[in-house]
Each structure stands twice: as structure tokens, then as C-alpha cells.
Structure 1
Amino acid sequence: MEIKFTTLQAEQSAFTLNIENWIIEDAQPWGVFSTEGDIGSLIADLLSGEFETDTGKVVKTAGSIAQVSLGEQQRLLDQELAKNDTDFMDKIDHGSSVYSLIYQQCEDPALTERLLEELDLIGLKNSGFRMLSTGETRRLMLARALAIKPDFLVLDEPYAGLDVEHRQSLAVYLQTLSKQVQMLVIVSRETEMPEWVEKVALFTQGQLVSQMDKVAWDNHPIIAQIKAQSVEQSDQMIALIQKHHHSSPFNNPIFELTDGRVAYGDQTIFSGVNWRINKGEHWQVKGPNGCGKSTLLGLIFGDHPQCYSNDIQIFGRQRGTGETIWDIKKNIGMVSSALHLQYRVNCSALDVILSGFYDSIGLYQQPTPQEKSIAQEWLGILHMSQFARTTFKQLAYGQQRLLLIARAIVKHPSLLIVDEPYQGLDYLGRRLVKNSLELIARENLSQLLYVSHYHEDSLDSIHNYLTFVAASDGNGYEAVVNCID
């Protein structure tokens, strides 16, 4: 399939894509790297016909195009929520099954079963969509895209949310698939640029600035330049955090879970988890997709329904002894993919950050002048002051994620929970957040609970680990605690 972009300008949400001239030749695999700006969903939507260009044109030869992107994932979630039948059932509706979501794309049982097998979804075929982990959802989205047998496949951050094992198996799978389907792969990690792409397009702030072959990309100096830029921006962010920092008033334990267990019916997620977090400790939670990492963090945050059926102490109180969920949340900052999906209100970018002071999704109280001033400082650090009054849904996914990270940090919580914080961020945004989290941990500005599947995302100041492993009885997972501090 051949695609030609000519003097193109396309605006989606608060972001503009500019391409003067770009030709993707028939059967030619391309990679795309964006140093600054979340362009993946925009390019995918443009090619898939989700919206039209403002000026210029895109000319395509005949053929079908499918996409795997965070934007497409959000649209599927919206569809699933629209048909939520929980209110009319005697149980919670967890959404359409993995099998049905693939089958509805092709109506071919044999192809559906093959995709389930190839993408390690067999064990999840009867699971509801809203029960899936981030990594499991990404594999499902790829299966749905392939089910329509596309001629051209756009993959926006295909490895996002996958654990190490699934990233490795997907890399092999995509290399094989590249011989059968023409692909455009968009990444923000230079290490994830596939070896099999022939050409690389380099974007910055939505502008196509360079096109090169893979050899030239491997020797390009842009990464070193952006690292220096991200350090400067991180220094500004940490200065803002230090400016408004206050000390945690709590003594040990900050959190303690005794013989923790979460199960849904006959399915055990994890059991026998004993975990204590003392004051001043920073922790990383590790484990494969679906092991219960986000579930465990939900027990701490108080938004998981089984947090009251477990033996939990938090901030010096036994959970379930009269405290409100707001008593707990006021001391915790939280950012996660689940929270991002739940943040569906259409308030302004400034109000998103301000909502962190009140632990709300949306802003329903009148903020103080000081809170407004701090939130505006955050917008400046994120280079988003011009979007102060722009609604959350109008912003690109990566911009939304940066706002939610600022929302989590703005009140300087005693405990800062960051679950896959880099999802959807461009290269510069990821470096900025990683550098800032490292400094927060090093200077004990908050206690970190950190989840990332990437070894290169490890923080030097975190020395304590809770790792989920398959339970010895084969029923769910159990936790191995390695506390060095």
C-alpha cells in the first residue's frame, strides 16, 4: 500500500500535525519517533479515516488500514461503558469477553482462536474487557486489529504496558508479521525501534523534521540532545516541588498488609501477601501482566472493593475503623492507567491539576489563590500554560498523562503511587518524569510506590522490591518481598 502526504496540516484536540512531504512506498515498513509531542494516535486516526486534514492531503492506494493506539483503546472503553448492564443484573458487568471482542471483528471462529493463541490470550478468552490489565488490553487491541486482516497496520507504542516476557515475544511476533503486513510503528523509546524497519521519520512538536534510513537513525545525535534538555526541565520541576514541600507526620508503619488476598469468584488474583512499608522507604512493585500489581495499589488507595475484607493498616489506622476514604486519599497522590481511563469529566487543564488538592475527578470546590498559583506554576513547568483553559478531552493523551502526574504530586503527598506513569508520554516527557521521580525519592520529598515493566526505568534511589511470582499451588500469585533498606 502506498501513502503520500503532501503539505498536510491536521489539528486534533490541542495538537497540530505538519507534514510537508512524506511518501510511504508499497510494502515499505516505517518507524516513527517523536521527541516531543504525542503524535501516535493522531497519525493513526488520520490514516484510519477518523478525521480529515485541515489543509493538504493524504493519498492512499486501495487497501484496509487498522490501528492499535491509546485513542482506539479509549473508544472501545467508551463503547463498553455505554452498554454496561450492571444496574440490570444481579452481578457486576465486567464487559464483553475477550473472545467476543475479537470475533466481532472477523466473525471467523478459526481466526479468532488463532489470534488468541498467538497473542497469549487463551487463558483470558472469557474474561470481561474491564477486568484486563494494561498489558492484556494492549494484546487484545492488537488481536482486534489483525482480525480484520488489514493491508496496512499502524502500531502506536505497541509495547506500552507489556511485561518483559510479552515485550520479547511481541518483538519476535511483529518481525514475523512484518513479512506479511505492511506496518508503521510509532515509538517514544529509541530502544524499541524495530530492526526490520527500512525508514524512520523523526517528528518534534508535531512537525516532520527528518526522514532517514535505519542505519542513519541508529547514529543520530538527537537522543543525547534531548537528554540534556530533559535534565534542565527536571531541575525546574524539582525546584517547584521543594518550594512547597512539607514533611510527613506519620510514624511506622505507613502501610501494612497481613495475609492479603484478592479473588473474584473462583479466580484468585493473589494470596498470602505480607507487606510492610516503613517511613522513608521507597518501593517498586514488579510482576507479569495480570498478577495484581494495580489491584494491590488499589487496596492501598482505597478504591478497590476488597480493601475492607483485608487486614490493612495505613497511616497509623486499621482500615475499617471509622475512617473515610477521603481521610486516606488526602495523604496519597496517585497516577495510573486506570485513573486516566476514569478521568472522564471535561474540566480544564488547570482544574485537572487543582483537583489534586481535593482528591476529586473534576473540580467541585473553589480553590484558594495559593492553590491556583501553584497549579499555574505546574502548567508552566510542563510547557502547557497556553492550554490552561483547554478541556481535558481536547488534549492529546500524553498531555493528559502529564496533567495527571502533576495532579498526583501537587499536594506533596506522604505517599506517591505511580503505576506505569510513562504510558503515552513522548521521549522528553518520559525523561522529565523519570528524572523528577528519581529526585523525589532521593530527597525523600514523598515516599514512592512505583510500577514499571522496563528495566531502564528503574530508579537508583529505590532499593525495596515486592515481586509477584506464580503461586506454588498454581492458583494465582504470591509476593516475594526484598527489603534492602
Structure 2
Amino acid sequence: MEIQFNQLKTAGSSTPLTIDNWQIAPHQSWAVFSTEGDVGSLIGAVLCDTLPFEGTLNKGDGRIVLVSLREQQKLLEQELANDDTDFLDRIDTGTTVHDLIFDMCSDDTLCDTLIAELDLDHLKNSGFRVLSTGETRRLMLARALATQPDYLVLDNPYEGMDVAHRQSLSAYLGKLAETVQMLVVLSREADMPDWVDNVALFSQGELVEVMNKARWDAHPVIAQIAAQSEQQSDEMMALLRRYQHSTPFENPIFALTDGRVEYTEKTIFTGVNWRINKGEHWQIKGPNGAGKSTLLGMIFGDHPQCYSNNIHIFGKQRGSGETVWEIKKHIGMVSSALHLQYRVNCKALDVIISGFHDSIGLYTQPSIQERKIANEWLDILHMRQYANTPFRRLDYGQQRLLLIARAIVKQPTLLILDEPYQGLDFLGRRLMKRTLEMIARENLSQLLYVSHYQDDELESIKNTLTLVFDDRQGCYVAEVTRAAV
């Protein structure tokens, strides 16, 4: 399939897409590397005729399909709209994996093949809303392939996947590239696949250079952008120090005794004993589906089984009469689940301010001080021009930066970061990683941190809780490694 962009510029998005001239020849597979800006969804929307543009785009008549975090978000919203929990004697977990794929092709053989190839067989009867982030990413790819596309646009396909699934997906896509033409959009240099023919480099939504894969391997862009992220993170830390305060709590900050989470069909984990003392930072590890997000949700108070477990948090026994808001005011949270739940369309400024009130959206009049601090955050993030832009109109990466600022702005005792960089461009990820490293080093908040990438590990986090599968018990158990005092 041949695609030709000429003097193309989009309208209607916070980051415009600008392509002066770009030709994709038949049978070529391309990678797009974006240093700043959410170009994956934009390119996909242009190719799929869902975003207006100026200029010309010539393409064949083949079927083009986009797989992105934004498309994943749309599917979740559809699933939530169809939630029948109120009419059932059980919680509606959503359409099953099998049915979501079958609906795209009405072909049992193809459906079963994709389920097997993308390691979804053990999840085929699971509802969409109980899947982990990595499991959902594989499901979205299976749904796209079920339509038997001629051209596939993959926007950061490895985000949210554990190491093993990233490796297996890379091999799978390499084989798929022999029969399906692909454009894969990346913001991590380590994710660049060997099987691409050429690389297009974008910055702030503009195509700045095209090159073959060999030239990309020696390109200096990664080193060039490091200085910019260092300057921004220094500014962010100066802001945090200016409004620094100390936590009033003594040990333990949090303790879970013999923790267990189970559903009707299976147990997720059991026998988890975890104590977080004052000043400790923790990384939580484990494969997709191990229950990392579930465990963090029990701390935050959003998981219903937090009240059926023996939990001690901020000096109180959970379920002893405290309100969820008494707990949440000392916790900042960033997660894919929260991002998907943040469906209100308040202004960008109000998203940050909502962090002071632990709300999704803003429903009270903010103080002058809250507005001042939120505007300072927008300045550091280079987003002041979007202060009054509705949250839903921003790019996915811009939304994620706002949600990170929302979590940090009140300098909570516990800062829960469940795959915080998902959807961020290269610069945004460098900026936030360096900032979080300094927050941990200076103990401005205690970090509970999840990332599947070894490159994302923070030097200041010395304690690890790893969820590993126990064949004897048929579920996950916790291995706790505490730093020597």
C-alpha cells in the first residue's frame, strides 16, 4: 500500500500534525519516533479519516486500522455505558475477551487463532474491565487484526507490557510485518524494532527528518534532548521545595497482613504481608495480571476488597470508621485506571487543582494559593497556553502530564505511581523520571512505583515487593526485599 503526505496539517487537536512531504512505498514498514507530541493517534486518525486536515493525502483503498491508548479509552467508555451491574446479582465485568474479538470478524477460527497467538487463551472468558493494562493492549491488537487490515498503525504497542510479553510481541510483529504493512509509533529508543525499513523523526507534531534504520542507530537526538528535560525537572523541584511540608505519621505508614484478593472464578494473590515504614520507597514488580494495580488500589481505597483485608494505614485500622477521603488526602495517585476514569471535561488548570481536593473534576471554588501553584505547574510543563482547554481535547500524553501534576501538587505522604509514563513522549518521560528520582532522594513523598521497563527503575528506591506465581496455590504470592538499614 502506497501512502503520500504532501503539505499536510491537521486542525482540531492541541498538538497539530505537520508533514511537508513523506512517501511510504508499498511493502515498507516504518517506525515513527516522537520526541514531543502525541503523533501516533494523530497519524492514525488522519489515515482512518477521523481527523480533518489541510493539504493532500493519497492512499490506496485498503483497510487501515489504528491501535492506540486513545482507542482503548473509547472501548472502555463503551463498556462502562453498557454496565449492567445494577440489574444483575453480581458485578458486571464487561464483555469477554472472546466476544470482543469475535465481534470484529464473526470468524471462530480466526478469533481462536488470535487468542492463542497473543497469549489471551487463559483470559478468553474474562471481562474487559478486569484485564490488566498489558492484557488490554494485547486484546486491542487482536481486535485490530481480526478485521484483517491491509495497513496497521501501532501507537506505542509495548507500553504496559511486562518484559516477557514485550519480547514475544516484538517477535510476533516481526513475523507479521512480512504480510501486513505497518507503521509503529514509539517514544522509547529501546523499543525500536529491528524489522523496520525506515524511521520518521517527529518533534512537537512536525516531521523533521526521515532516514533508514542504519542512520537512525547513530542519530544524536537522544543526547540532544537530555539537557531540556534536566532544566524542566530542576524547575519542578524548586517549586516542590518552595511548598514543602512534612508528614505527621509514624510507623507503619501502611501494613497489610496476610492479604488476599479473590473473585468468583479465581484468586489473584494470597498471603501478602507488606509493611511500609516512614521514609521508605518501594517498587512493585510482577507480570501482567499478577495484581500489582489491585494491591495499590487496596492502599488507595478504590478496591472493594480493601475492607475484607487486615489493613493498617496512617495510624488507623481500615474499616474502623474512617472515611475514604481521610485516607486519600494523604495519597497521590497516577495510574492507567485513573486516567481512564478521568472522563470529566474540566479545564487543564482545574485538573491540577483537583489534586488538592482528591476529586475527579473540580466542584469547589479553589483558593488563590491553589490557583497560583497550579499555574506554576502549567508553566513548568510548558502548558500554560492550555490552561482553559478541556481535558478531553488534549493529547493523551498531555493528559497524563496533568494527572502526574495532580498527584504531586499536594505533596502527599504516599505517591502511588502505577506505570506513570504511559502515553508520555520521550521528553515527558525523561522529565518525570528525573523529577521522581529527586522526590525520592529528598523524601518529599514516599514512592510506590510500578514500571515494566528496567530503564525506568529509580536509584533511590531500594525496597522491592515482587508478585510471583505459586504453582502449588495456583495464584500469586509476594516476595519482599527490604534494603539493609
Could you say what secondary structure the match of 2:17 adopts? strand
2:333 match: 334
Contact 2:233 2:431 in 1 (8 A): yes
Listed as ranges, the gaps of 5+ residues in structure 1 are: none
TM-score, normalised relative to structure 2: 0.99
2:292 match: 293
How far residue 123 of structure 1 moved from its aligned partner, in angstroms, is 0.2
How far residue 474 of structure 1 moved from its aligned partner, in angstroms, is 4.3
Could you say what secondary structure the match of 2:350 adopts? helix
Map of 1:206-217 to 2, 5 A cutoff? 206-217=205-216
Query: For residues 304 and 360 of structure 2, what CA distance do their matches in structure 1 show?
Result: 18
Contact 1:470 1:477 in 2 (8 A): yes
Q: In the alignment, residue 479 of structure 1 is paired with which amino acid?
A: A
Map of 1:13-32 to 2, 5 A cutoff? 13-32=13-32
2:315 match: 316
2:398 match: 399
Query: For residues 71 and 476 of structure 1, what CA distance do their matches in structure 2 show?
Result: 32
Query: For residues 27 and 12 of structure 2, what CA distance do their matches in structure 1 show?
Result: 28
User: Structure 1, residues 373-402: CA drift from partner, whole Å, max 9, x if none?
Assistant: 000000000000000000000000000000
Query: For residues 349 and 228 of structure 2, what CA distance do their matches in structure 1 show?
Result: 25
User: Structure 1, residues 389-425: CA drift from partner, whole Å, max 9, x if none?
Assistant: 0000000000000000000000010110000000000
Map of 1:57-206 to 2, 5 A cutoff? 57-206=56-205
1:275 match: 274
Answering whether residue 10 of structure 2 is matched by residue 7 of structure 1, we say no
How far residue 100 of structure 1 moved from its aligned partner, in angstroms, is 0.3
Query: For residues 12 and 407 of structure 2, what CA distance do their matches in structure 1 show?
Result: 26
Query: For residues 191 and 34 of structure 2, what CA distance do their matches in structure 1 show?
Result: 13
Could you say what secondary structure the match of 1:252 adopts? coil
1:450 match: 449
How far residue 295 of structure 1 moved from its aligned partner, in angstroms, is 0.2
1:257 match: 256
2:359 match: 360
Contact 2:377 2:405 in 1 (8 A): yes
Q: In the alignment, residue 216 of structure 2 is paired with which amino acid?
A: W
Q: In the alignment, residue 39 of structure 2 is paired with which amino acid?
A: I
Contact 1:13 1:393 in 2 (8 A): no
Contact 1:294 1:419 in 2 (8 A): yes
Query: For residues 81 and 318 of structure 1, what CA distance do their matches in structure 2 show?
Result: 32
Query: For residues 472 and 20 of structure 1, what CA distance do their matches in structure 2 show?
Result: 56
Q: In the alignment, residue 48 of structure 1 is paired with which amino acid?
A: C
Query: For residues 58 and 461 of structure 1, what CA distance do their matches in structure 2 show?
Result: 48
67-76 or 419-428: bigger deviation: 67-76
Query: For residues 52 and 61 of structure 1, what CA distance do their matches in structure 2 show?
Result: 18
Could you say what secondary structure the match of 2:145 adopts? helix
Could you say what secondary structure the match of 1:57 adopts? strand
User: Structure 1, residues 276-321: CA drift from partner, whole Å, max 9, x if none?
Assistant: 0000000000000000000000000001100000000001111011
Q: In the alignment, residue 154 of structure 2 is paired with which amino acid?
A: L
251-260 or 31-40: bigger deviation: 31-40
Q: In the alignment, residue 288 of structure 2 is paired with which amino acid?
A: N
Q: In the alignment, residue 201 of structure 1 is paired with which amino acid?
A: A
How far residue 90 of structure 1 moved from its aligned partner, in angstroms, is 1.6
1:46 match: 46
Could you say what secondary structure the match of 1:276 adopts? strand
Q: In the alignment, residue 420 of structure 2 is paired with which amino acid?
A: P
Query: For residues 113 and 23 of structure 1, what CA distance do their matches in structure 2 show?
Result: 36
Query: For residues 29 and 422 of structure 2, what CA distance do their matches in structure 1 show?
Result: 24
Could you say what secondary structure the match of 2:11 adopts? strand
Query: For residues 197 and 117 of structure 1, what CA distance do their matches in structure 2 show?
Result: 25
How far residue 181 of structure 1 moved from its aligned partner, in angstroms, is 0.5
Contact 2:12 2:52 in 1 (8 A): no
User: Structure 1, residues 88-107: CA drift from partner, whole Å, max 9, x if none?
Assistant: 21211111000000001111
Contact 1:8 1:58 in 2 (8 A): yes
- Percent identity over paired residues: 66
Q: In the alignment, residue 115 of structure 2 is paired with which amino acid?
A: L
Could you say what secondary structure the match of 2:362 adopts? coil
454-463 or 189-198: bigger deviation: 189-198
How far residue 473 of structure 1 moved from its aligned partner, in angstroms, is 1.6
Contact 1:33 1:188 in 2 (8 A): yes
Query: For residues 366 and 216 of structure 1, what CA distance do their matches in structure 2 show?
Result: 54
Query: For residues 80 and 266 of structure 1, what CA distance do their matches in structure 2 show?
Result: 21
Query: For residues 292 and 62 of structure 1, what CA distance do their matches in structure 2 show?
Result: 43
How far residue 195 of structure 1 moved from its aligned partner, in angstroms, is 1.0
Could you say what secondary structure the match of 2:222 adopts? helix
Q: In the alignment, residue 295 of structure 1 is paired with which amino acid?
A: T
TM-score, normalised relative to structure 1: 0.99
1:435 match: 434
Listed as ranges, the gaps of 5+ residues in structure 2 are: none
How far residue 52 of structure 1 moved from its aligned partner, in angstroms, is 2.3
Could you say what secondary structure the match of 2:16 adopts? strand
Query: For residues 21 and 157 of structure 1, what CA distance do their matches in structure 2 show?
Result: 23
Query: For residues 91 and 320 of structure 1, what CA distance do their matches in structure 2 show?
Result: 23
Contact 1:353 1:410 in 2 (8 A): yes
Q: In the alignment, residue 5 of structure 1 is paired with which amino acid?
A: F
CA RMSD of aligned residues (A): 0.8
Q: In the alignment, residue 219 of structure 1 is paired with which amino acid?
A: A
Query: For residues 384 and 484 of structure 1, what CA distance do their matches in structure 2 show?
Result: 38
User: Structure 1, residues 327-374: CA drift from partner, whole Å, max 9, x if none?
Assistant: 000000001000000001110000000000000000011111011000
User: Structure 1, residues 2-51: CA drift from partner, whole Å, max 9, x if none?
Assistant: 01111001024312000001111100010000111111111111111222
456-465 or 40-49: bigger deviation: 40-49
